[in-house]
């Protein structure tokens, strides 16, 4: 019984959400194959920020991915009864210079003119939401709709719900090779077994290009190393999802993008070009922060100078952090496409081949909806125009 209608490779937020939505809407025989554990990739290692500024008056793909995902997380927590530690806590971004303030004001006015939710708030207002935040900032952006959830619990909830609806899940089994047969079906060779499927969904995050090589396809997705650190459990001190505007301001003048590098990295050619920052306090009391995004391939180690730089930056926002010790630091690999946009839908070079990846640095918050779109394309075999921006056919080598 190794024949399936749909096989999904990768049990991160993208693959699990695709499996959940497929099994909710069909009676197809579906299997997920994961080389390690469920949520062992970026989906279990991230900061748990969920970004949304609302759908606005004329929603684009980014609005549907972010806001749609927020609603899906909410429904898992409240309607389906999974405690994924979801909270619509809102989010505060610290503005640290006059130039950043001018930039942030322009951005916020533009968002508001499109019916989205963001506002510039004063120190007094910021301190009434985050009592420990520094009063030395030039201002703060408040995003009332943004939220947070536990990455492992949330990613696993999608897998469990897919399983409840009939999806088979194989863990600790690595797909080594994929080949296509003349009738358009696929043979999947793992380290343990052989499987066949009518439709194949690749949801392998930063590892996507490795797998596509067996199909003679060059997927323009590169692994970008992100890293984070955490404190021991502490009493509640930070209540919202925290970020800072420095990186957005810097990327506005130098996006870092060229033929080998995706946009919005913190380092280029080994040199730091900006400081990025995100973090929050978990339900268990641990304070977690991170920020760096480096194009260093699958270099599996933490760069402690980057962790130190991030902790100093967090201390500028929250002076009490200077007294806090780092308990743990870790890294994870984010799937960045070379143009910075997701890849969701059909791969034109093969019939019945689909992808949901390239979710970059915000794939936890966008993954539930990206998986839902992927499931819809698999079921309908149709690419809706809302997915134009994420259409894999924009890359010549995939046609």
Q: Which residues of this chain interact with ligand FAD, rule CB under 6 A?
A: 9-15, 33-36, 40-43, 45-49, 174-175, 203-207, 211, 226-228, 278, 290, 332, 334-335, 357, 359-365, 367
Least spacing, CB of residue 364 vs ligand FAD, in Å: 3
Least spacing, CB of residue 190 vs ligand FAD, in Å: 7
Least spacing, CB of residue 263 vs ligand FAD, in Å: 15
Least spacing, CB of residue 11 vs ligand FAD, in Å: 5
Helix (H, G, I), strand (E, B) or coil at 301: coil
Q: Alpha-carbon dihedral of residues 143, 149, 150, 156, nearest 10 degrees?
A: -140
User: Per-residue DSSP letters for 334-386?
Assistant: EEEETTS--EEEE-TTSTTEEEEE--GGGHHHHHHHHHHHHHHHHHH----GG
- Which residue lies nearer to ligand FAD by CB, 123 or 214? 214
**Computed over its alpha carbons, how large is the radius of gyration of the chain?**
21
The position carrying tokens 């942030």 is 104
- Which residue lies nearer to ligand FAD by CB, 42 or 101? 42
- Which residue lies nearer to ligand FAD by CB, 139 or 226? 226
Least spacing, CB of residue 122 vs ligand FAD, in Å: 26
Least spacing, CB of residue 370 vs ligand FAD, in Å: 8
Instruction: Decide if 242 contacts 278 (C-beta within 8 A).
Output: yes
Give burial (CB, 10 Å; 0-12/13-18/19+) of 398: buried
- Which residue lies nearer to ligand FAD by CB, 59 or 205? 205
Instruction: Decide if 136 contacts 75 (C-beta within 8 A).
Output: no
- Which residue lies nearer to ligand FAD by CB, 46 or 266? 46
Instruction: Find the residue with minimal CB distance to ligand FAD.
Output: 363
Least spacing, CB of residue 108 vs ligand FAD, in Å: 21
Determine the distance from the C-alpha atom of residue 279 to the mean position of all C-alpha atoms in its chain, rounded to a whole number.
Answer: 14
In the Cβ-directed half-sphere of 391, how many Cα atoms lie within 13 Å?
14
Instruction: Decide if 164 contacts 81 (C-beta within 8 A).
Output: no
- Which residue lies nearer to ligand FAD by CB, 43 or 101? 43
- Which residue lies nearer to ligand FAD by CB, 105 or 302? 302
- Which residue lies nearer to ligand FAD by CB, 62 or 123? 62
User: What is d(CA 300, CA 312) in angstroms, rounded to the nearest whole number?
Assistant: 23
Q: Which residues of 124-152 are buried (b: 16+ CB within 10 A; e: fewer)?
A: eebeebbeebbeebbbbbbbbbbbbbbbb
Least spacing, CB of residue 399 vs ligand FAD, in Å: 23
Instruction: Decide if 266 contacts 292 (C-beta within 8 A).
Output: yes
């Amino acid at each position: 019984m190794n024949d399936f209608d749909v096989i999904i490779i990768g049990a991160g937020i993208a693959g699990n959400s695709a499996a959940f939505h497929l099994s909710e809407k069909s009676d197809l025989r579906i299997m997920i194959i994961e080389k390690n554990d469920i949520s062992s990739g970026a989906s279990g290692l991230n900061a748990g920020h969920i970004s949304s500024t609302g759908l606005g008056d004329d929603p684009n793909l980014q609005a549907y991915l972010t806001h749609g995902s927020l609603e899906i997380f909410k429904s898992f927590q409240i309607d389906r009864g999974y405690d994924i530690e979801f909270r619509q806590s809102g989010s505060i971004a610290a503005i640290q210079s006059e130039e950043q303030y001018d930039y942030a004001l322009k951005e916020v006015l533009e968002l508001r003119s499109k019916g989205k939710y963001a506002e510039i708030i004063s120190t007094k207002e910021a301190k009434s939401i985050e009592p420990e935040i520094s009063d030395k900032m030039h201002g703060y952006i408040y995003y009332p709709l943004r939220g947070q959830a536990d990455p492992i619990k949330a990613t696993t909830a999608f897998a469990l719900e897919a399983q409840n609806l009939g999806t088979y899940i194989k863990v600790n089994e690595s797909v080594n090779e994929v080949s296509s047969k003349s009738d358009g079906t696929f043979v999947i060779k793992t380290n343990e077994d052989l499987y066949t499927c009518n439709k194949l969904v690749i949801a392998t995050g930063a590892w996507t290009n490795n797998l596509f090589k067996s199909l003679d396809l060059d997927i323009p997705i590169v692994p970008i190393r992100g890293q984070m650190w955490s404190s021991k459990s502490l009493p509640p001190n930070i209540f919202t999802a925290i970020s800072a505007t420095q990186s957005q301001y810097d990327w506005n003048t130098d996006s870092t993008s060229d033929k080998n590098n995706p946009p919005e990295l913190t380092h280029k050619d080994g040199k730091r070009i900006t400081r990025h920052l995100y973090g929050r306090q978990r339900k268990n009391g641990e304070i977690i922060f991170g920020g760096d995004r480096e194009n260093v391939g699958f270099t599996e180690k933490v760069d402690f100078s980057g962790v130190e730089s991030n902790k100093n930056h967090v201390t500028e926002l929250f002076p009490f952090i200077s007294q806090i010790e780092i308990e743990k630091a870790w890294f994870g690999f984010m799937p960045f496409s070379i143009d910075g946009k997701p890849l969701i839908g059909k791969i034109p070079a093969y019939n019945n081949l689909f992808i949901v990846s390239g979710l970059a640095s915000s794939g936890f918050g966008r993954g539930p909806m990206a998986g839902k779109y992927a499931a819809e394309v698999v079921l309908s075999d149709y690419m809706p125009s809302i997915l134009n921006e994420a259409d894999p056919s924009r890359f010549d080598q995939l046609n």
